[in-house]
Structure 1
Amino acid sequence: MDALGKLGINGLFLLSQIINFLILFGALSVFLWKPLMQSLDKRRQMLEKEKKDAATLAEERANIAAEQARILEQARGEANKITATAREQAQAVAEQAAQEMRQKEADVLAAARQTAEEERNRILGEMRGQIAALAVAAAQQIIGETLDEQRQQALVESFFSGIREGRVKVLSEGVEVGPAGVPVTVTSALPLTEEQQATVQRDLAARMGGESEIAFQVDPQVQGFRYSPSGLLNQRSLLRSRICVGCSQIK
């Protein structure tokens, strides 16, 4: 203290000031500095948390945007697939409807043709007697003599059915008519009776060496009837030919 006194410093006052400073420093540390540091630390932690939350939020937004883009692309793909499927189904339905319509038209036309053919055959069958009478009259005028009933009947049957003396005069003797089993179409000017059809079947079976499928058609433009194997071909190309009864040439 004496040394401080020599220097003009009051030692007690200086000591009291030091004590006061320490007390003030301690008080400031306890009541001001420590709360301030705690507040700053809390602020720093809050800022770090906000920064972290912002990064997390940005990442979540990016993930949401990517998911939205994926869902949108998937929805577009599904929509395109549904559209393509619907278009294919609509096209298939339209094609099926058109095919059914064409089939119905074909069925109607076939039924109409069948009905017309049956009606024509019926009318020709009803007119058979009149046509026969005209044919006999014409024959009598040509040959200049009167034919008895039996000869008239034989002449008419031979002309319209191609059957003479119980045999079918389709081809001359020695000409091939094809093997058995070849489908055959017989076209006559007038509908053949069941007896005449049986005669044709029997004679052709004998000529062909066996039974064949025979279809009978009517064409008023044919004189007698026409024999036509159905589209088959042998080595002599005879099965493609059509031979008209009463004609000298092969068509």
Structure 2
Amino acid sequence: MLDFGAVSLEWGTMLFQALVFLILLVLVRKFALGPALAVMEKRRQHIETEISSAERSRKDSETLLAEQRRLLDEARLEAKALIDRAHKQASDEETRIKKEAEEAAARLKAEATADIAREIAKAKAELQEQVAGLSVLLASKIIEKELDEAAQKSTVDQFLKQVGDRL
């Protein structure tokens, strides 16, 4: 026994307590620490797997995002090409319609000019017929009435007045 004043130690009790402590240490290590370490190792492996899976998913997402951006750019280019083509077609159609309208207007103008020329020729022919008929009528009236010069002048003036009214 060791005596330190108020505290005394007995060798037997100390050895017994040390032995119980070592037994408890072995039992804790075998039954508590081993399974706890195994669970912690499984958890560490699970976390590493999840991290690597998340990294793969992130890389896949970046790849898909790049692909989507590329497809979007292609779609924009195609849309721009379609719009440009539609503008060109509209412009070509506008030019064609204007040309057809100008040709139709020119054709109508030519037809109208020809119609006017025919109507003028017809009117002249009718006028010539009327003048010829009136000349014959005047001549016959003059012959019927052999009048003096004043009466003849009056008849011619009256005839010209009638002709002027008809024209």
What is the TM-score of this pair, normalised by structure 1?
A: 0.44
Match of 1:65 among 64, 69, 74: 69
Post-superposition CA distance 1:174-220 (Å, at most 9, x none) = xxxxxxxxxxxxxxxxxxxxxxxxxxxxxxxxxxxxxxxxxxxxxxx
Which residue in 2 is equivalent to 1:109?
A: 113
Which residue in 2 is equivalent to 1:100?
A: 104
Aligned residues: 123
How many Å apart are 1:12 and its aligned residue? 7.6
Post-superposition CA distance 1:132-169 (Å, at most 9, x none) = xxxxxxxxxxxxxxxxxxxxxxxxxxxxxxxxxxxxxx
How many Å apart are 1:21 and its aligned residue? 3.3
Q: 2:33 corresponds to which letter in structure 1?
A: L
Q: 2:58 corresponds to which letter in structure 1?
A: A
Query: Structure 2: any 5+ residue segments left out of the alignment?
Result: 1-13, 137-167
Q: Does 1:24 align with 2:63?
A: no
Aligned-partner Cα distance in 2 for 1:47–1:18? 40
Aligned-partner Cα distance in 2 for 1:126–1:12? 163
Match of 2:84 among 61, 80, 85: 80
Q: What secondary structure sits across from 2:129 in the alignment?
A: helix
How many Å apart are 1:11 and its aligned residue? 8.7
Aligned-partner Cα distance in 2 for 1:19–1:70? 74
Identify the structure with the greater strand proportion.
1
Which residue in 1 is equivalent to 2:41?
A: 37
Which residue in 2 is equivalent to 1:91?
A: 95
How many Å apart are 1:28 and its aligned residue? 0.2
CA RMSD of aligned residues (A): 2.8
- Answer 1 or 2: higher relative contact order, Cα 8 Å, separation at least 6: 1
Correspondences of 1:165-204 after superposition (within 5 Å): none
Structure 1 runs of 4+ with >3 Å offset: 10-21, 125-131
Q: Which has the larger radius of gyration?
A: 2
Q: Taking every aligned residue pair, what percent have the same amino acid on both sides? A: 9
